[in-house]
Amino acid sequence: MKKDDSTEKRILDAARKVFYEKGLAGARMEEIAQEAGINKAMLHYYFRSKQKLFEKIFLEAFGQIFPRLIAIVASDISLEEKISQISTSYIEVLTENPQLPLFVMSSIQRDAGSFVSGMIQDNPLQPSLVLGKLREQIAEEVKAGKINPIDPRDLIVNIIAVSVFPFMMKPILTGLFGMTEEDFQAFISNRKLSVSDFLIRAVSRADSSQ
Amino acid sequence: MKKDDSTEKRILDAARKVFYEKGLAGARMEEIAQEAGINKAMLHYYFRSKQKLFEKIFLEAFGQIFPRLIAIVASDISLEEKISQISTSYIEVLTENPQLPLFVMSSIQRDAGSFVSGMIQDNPLQPSLVLGKLREQIAEEVKAGKINPIDPRDLIVNIIAVSVFPFMMKPILTGLFGMTEEDFQAFISNRKLSVSDFLIRAVSRADSSQ
DNA sequence: GTCTATATGTTGATAGAC
DNA sequence: GTCTATCAACATATAGAC
C-alpha cells in the first residue's frame, strides 16, 4: 500500500504491478485502485483513462530495456566486452523485474505496436547506423583471427536470447524443474557468469592462439 | 472463411487465430465468430464457454512444443545431435507458427498456470528423470574431453532461447531493423544452420583435437 | 484531492424460433 | 444445427458532494 508515497506514485506502482501481470486487456481499473489503496475514480482524475495509464507504464518499461542495448552496442569497447556487458546488464535488471520482457513483448504485439516505431525514430542513436558499426567491428575481429564470422543481427539476438529468455520461462522452469523461488534465484545468479562464457566461446575461433 | 471445413474446425481455426493474437482476456467471442463466418451463439453451442474454448486452444499449443523437447532430450543420440535436432525442430515449427511461443508463455503466466503442472505430471517421460540422464551424458562427454562442463538446465534453456526468441522478437525485429516479411523469413532461414553451429561451438572444448 | 453514486457501453451467455 | 433477440454482469468513465 505504501502510505508514505504520493497518490500519483502509488497509482503508478499499482498499475505497473497489475499491468505486468495481466496485460492491458486483462487488467481491471478496480484492481489497480485497490492495489494502490485508493478509489477507482482517482485513477481517472490522475490519468484520464485506462489507455493513458497503460501507455505510461509501457513506455517506461520499454525505455528501460531498449536504450540500454543500443548504448552498449554503440560504445567504443571490444566485442567481448560488449557481449559481457549486455548479458550481465540485462540479467541484473531482470533479476529485479522478471516480468518485464514478457510484458513488453506481449504489449508490443497486442496493444502498443505503433509506439515502438515512434520511440525508435526518436532515439538519437539510429539502430541501422549502430548495426552498421557493429558489422565493421565484427569484420575487423574476424580479420584479426579472433572470432568467427557472424551476422551482427544474429549476434545481438543470440546475446539477448540467452540473457532474457530464462526470465520469460520462469513459470515453466519453476513448474518443469520443480524449482523454488530460491532455486530460481540461484540458477539466475549462476548464469550471470556462465552466459558470458557461453556466448564468447560461441563467437571465438576454435583454433585461435590468443 | 474456409467454407469447406466443418463448423467445429472453422471455429477452432478462428479461435486459434484470435487467441494467438490477443490472448484470453483480449479476445472477443464476437470476433472469433466473425472470423469463422458463423454466429456468436454457435461458439457456445459447440464449446459452452469462452474459457473452455481457450483451454482447447492452449492445450493444443502447449502440447505442440513441449513433448517435442522431452522426446529429443530423452532420445539415444549424441549431445551434438540433440542440440542440432532441438534447434532445427523448433525453428521449423515456429516458421509456420511464429506467434506460438508468445501465446503459450503469456497464457501460462496469465491464465493457464495450473494446466502446465497437470500436463507435465501426465507426461510419461518425467522431466526430472530426463534431466538426470542428460546430466550423465554431459558428464561422459566432458570426461571424453569433447565438451566443457555445463549445467544441463543451462544447456536446454540456451538451446531453446536462441531457437525460439527470434520469433517472439519478430515485431521488434521488423520495426527495429526495418525488416520486411521476406527479410524476416530469410533471416530465420539462415539461422536454421547458423544456430546449431553457434550452440555447438559454445559447448565444445576450444582445445579439443577432434 | 478524495469520495459515493451513477451513467454508458460492452461482453459472455442464453432463450427460443426455424 | 443455425439463426435473431435479449439478458445479466461487468468495466470504464463521469457527475457531483465534501
**What pLDDT is stored for residue B207 in this prediction?**
66
Instruction: Say what angle helices A181-203 and A152-168 make with each other, to 10 degrees.
Output: 170
- Condensed to tens digits (0 to 9), the pLDDT of residues A90-108 reads 999 999 999 999 999 999 9
**What pLDDT is stored for residue B123 in this prediction?**
82
Cell of B111: 491464465
| CB atoms A22 and B110 under 8 Å | yes
Closest amino acid to nucleotide D3 (CA–C1'):
B39
**What pLDDT is stored for residue B103 in this prediction?**
98
Q: Are B107 and B23 in contact (CB under 8 A)?
A: yes
Nearest Cα neighbor of A79 from A139, A126, A128 is A139
Mean pLDDT of chain B: 94
Task: Report residue B210's pLDDT band, with 50, 70 and 90 as the boundaries.
Answer: very low
Q: What is the mean pLDDT of residues B54-71?
A: 95
CB atoms within 10 A of CB B46: 16
Evaluate if residue A207 carries a pLDDT over 70. Answer: no
Torsion angle of alpha carbons A8, A10, A11, A13, nearest 10°?
120
Above pLDDT 90, what percent of chain A?
85
Evaluate if residue B208 carries a pLDDT over 80. Answer: no
Q: What is the DSSP letter of A93?
A: H
Mean pLDDT of chain A: 94
Q: What is the mean pLDDT of residues B169-191?
A: 93
Can you tell me the distance from the alpha carbon of B43 to that of B23, in angstroms, rounded to the nearest whole number? 17
Q: What is the mean pLDDT of residues A52-72?
A: 96
Task: Report residue B131's pLDDT band, with 50, 70 and 90 as the boundaries.
Answer: very high
Can you tell me the distance from the alpha carbon of A176 to that of B104, in angstroms, rounded to the nearest whole number? 14
Evaluate if residue B126 carries a pLDDT over 50. Answer: yes
**What pLDDT is stored for residue B17 in this prediction?**
98
Instruction: Say what angle helices A181-203 and B181-203 make with each other, to 10 degrees.
Output: 90
Q: What is the mean pLDDT of residues A184-208?
A: 93
SS3 A71: helix
Mutation target to probe the A interface, by most A beta carbons within 10 A, among B24, B190, B201 is B201
**What pLDDT is stored for residue A210 in this prediction?**
45
Task: Report residue A140's pLDDT band, with 50, 70 and 90 as the boundaries.
Answer: very high
Residues in chain A: 210
Q: What is the mean pLDDT of residues A49-68?
A: 96
Q: Are B108 and B116 in contact (CB under 8 A)?
A: yes
Closest nt to residue A42, judged CA to C1': C2
Q: What is the mean pLDDT of residues B180-190?
A: 97
| CB proximity list for B174: less than 8 A, separation 6 or greater | B180, B181, B183, B184
For B159-171, b/e burial (b = at least 16 CB within 10 A) is bbbbbbbbbbbbb
- Condensed to tens digits (0 to 9), the pLDDT of residues B109-119 reads 999 988 888 88
Task: Report residue B4's pLDDT band, with 50, 70 and 90 as the boundaries.
Answer: low
Interchain CB contacts (distance < 8 Å): A and B: 157
Evaluate if residue A145 carries a pLDDT over 70. Answer: yes
Chain C footprint bases within 7 A of protein beta carbons: 1-5, 11-16
| CB atoms B23 and A24 under 8 Å | no
**What pLDDT is stored for residue B176 in this prediction?**
75
Mutation target to probe the B interface, by most B beta carbons within 10 A, among A169, A183, A197 is A169
Question: How many angstroms away from the CA of A5 is the closest CA of chain B?
Answer: 29
SS3 A188: helix
- Condensed to tens digits (0 to 9), the pLDDT of residues B132-149 reads 999 999 999 999 999 999
Nearest Cα neighbor of A64 from A109, A101, A20, A24 is A101
Q: Are A105 and B168 in contact (CB under 8 A)?
A: yes
| CB proximity list for B124: less than 8 A, separation 6 or greater | none
How many degrees, rounded to 5, is the angle at CA A20 between CA B16 and CA B155? 75
- Condensed to tens digits (0 to 9), the pLDDT of residues A13-38 reads 999 999 999 999 999 999 999 999 99
The reported pTM is 0.96
| CB atoms A26 and B25 under 8 Å | yes
**Helix residue ranges, H only, chain B:** 7-26, 29-36, 40-47, 50-74, 79-96, 100-110, 113-122, 127-143, 152-168, 170-176, 181-203
Can you tell me the distance from the alpha carbon of B33 to that of B50, in angstroms, rounded to the nearest whole number? 12
Nearest Cα neighbor of A156 from A79, A104, A94 is A79
CB atoms within 10 A of CB B18: 23
Can you tell me the distance from the alpha carbon of B144 to that of B79, in angstroms, rounded to the nearest whole number? 13
Amino acid occupying residue A134: L
